[in-house]
Amino acid sequence: MSIEAFDVVDLIRTKRDGGALETAEIDWLVDAYTRGYVADEQMSAMTMAIFLNGMERREIRDLTMAMIASGERMDFSGLGKPTSDKHSTGGVGDKITLPLMPLVASFGVAVPQLSGRGLGHTGGTLDKLESIPGWRADLTNEEMFAQLRDVGGVICAAGAGLAPADKKLYALRDITGTVEAIPLIASSIMSKKIAEGTSALVLDVKFGSGAFLKDIERSRELARTMVELGEDAGVATSALLTNMNVPLGLTIGNANEVRESVEVLAGGGPADVRELTLALAREMLALAGVTDADVEGALDDGRAMDTWRASIHAQGGDPDAALPVAPETHTVTADRDGVLVEQHALPFGIAAWRLGAGRARKQDPVVHSAGIDLHKKPGDTVKAGEPLFTLHAEDAARFTRALESVEGAWRIGDAGETVQDGGPLIAERIGR
């Protein structure tokens, strides 16, 4: 029987009492928890102590590197071209990865976008893409490398070998009320992104009603922490703080968000989706050393669309296939003339989830045709009887609870009344 280097109870007491853990202690803790020596209830106590007392920058870096060391690290140096990736903290209607990956890849920068599935009111990129007939998320490392070489970009599921300690720890945080701890969020996100092997990373950190962290100050703290972790690991990293007080774009769901993404790739689409796609593309390209890219031109002249179609084909999908359409719809109309002055993101995200577009548990399926189409955005003039939004579902019985979710979430005011949209879409840039 081997003798362990540390006693986990001593480490819990240190953190409980506001002390800092040494590098060797953190390395041992992560390894011992991954292999099952440290029990879930002990790690639960540790995560709560971290939630209450925080961690120093060095501790967060050590925790991140220990989680990376628990699994494999990918290496894209053999591609012969720079790599750049993006991570979003998630929001309502956030489909930016779909047009962004092919746009950046069209400039010769490889984009290894390892994405996830949705849980609760925030949608998952893989769920959206699985609306496309035949498209598959699970690729081998060899398939991923080949697609990066031949197409330039890939959106796929992360393999089980990347930061397995994080996978185990995240599941524990989810059931112990410690998900929102900034040191744990930052190390969770950055352990996977650093292990993924990209040389540049742009973070889209949301704040507001539909965001993971509502308060901009907390979002700023998270962004700064993650940028520091990236830089410490030798990854060129920056972050944009972006507004999630209102839904992004005009669609919330899966198949309908794919349709909107294709509109953006065709040079159209909602102004906010296009604005954020272009801003993130410029950041990703600049960090990869491409500073003179005409990103607007690549959206408008079809180059990004060509890369999109090639990537969908490469993963078994048909970019020309019809996307799922819900058999049941319900449209809400304006009861008066005026201006739409409020439209809160979170209630619309919850409504889309209740329609079937999201999942309550990781094992639940999603309904790809379910969701919400918005016909008006804050600041738009409306007339009595005009459609405000349309709900889509496979079962009309779902409409009642979805409508309950958005009750009071939107308001029509008089011309000249202040629009409650939380300010500009991009609030701040953090990084060098």
Q: Annotated active-site positions, please?
A: 87, 166, 173, 188, 192
Task: In whole angstroms, give the CA distance from residue 340 to residue 342.
Answer: 6
| Residue reference for tokens 């599941």 | 171
- Element holding 3 (H helix, E strand): none
Task: In whole angstroms, give the CA distance from residue 86 to residue 193.
Answer: 9
| Residue reference for tokens 């986990």 | 8
Following DSSP, what letter does each residue of 58-111 receive, concatenated? Answer: HHHHHHHHHHHHTS-----GGGSS-B-EEEE---TT--THHHHHHHHHTTT-BE
Contact 384, 366 (CB under 8 A): no
CA 130 to chain centre: 16
Nearest to 359 by CA among 89, 121, 116, 95: 121
Contact 200, 220 (CB under 8 A): no
Residue 104, phi then psi, degrees to nearest 5: -65, -40
3-class state of residue 153 by DSSP: strand
Nearest to 182 by CA among 225, 128, 231, 118: 225
In this structure, the number of other CB atoms found within 10 A of the CB of residue 255 comes to 25
Task: In whole angstroms, give the CA distance from residue 266 to residue 354.
Answer: 31
According to DSSP, the residues that pair with 252 across neighbouring strands are 372
Burial degree of 285 (CB within 10 A; 0-12, 13-18, 19+): buried
Find the angle CA(173)-CA(40)-CA(190) to the nearest 5 degrees.
40
Residue 197, phi then psi, degrees to nearest 5: 95, 5
- Element holding 26 (H helix, E strand): helix 23-34
Nearest to 141 by CA among 197, 62, 80, 217: 197
Residue 391, phi then psi, degrees to nearest 5: -95, 140
According to DSSP, the residues that pair with 382 across neighbouring strands are 338
3-class state of residue 268 by DSSP: coil
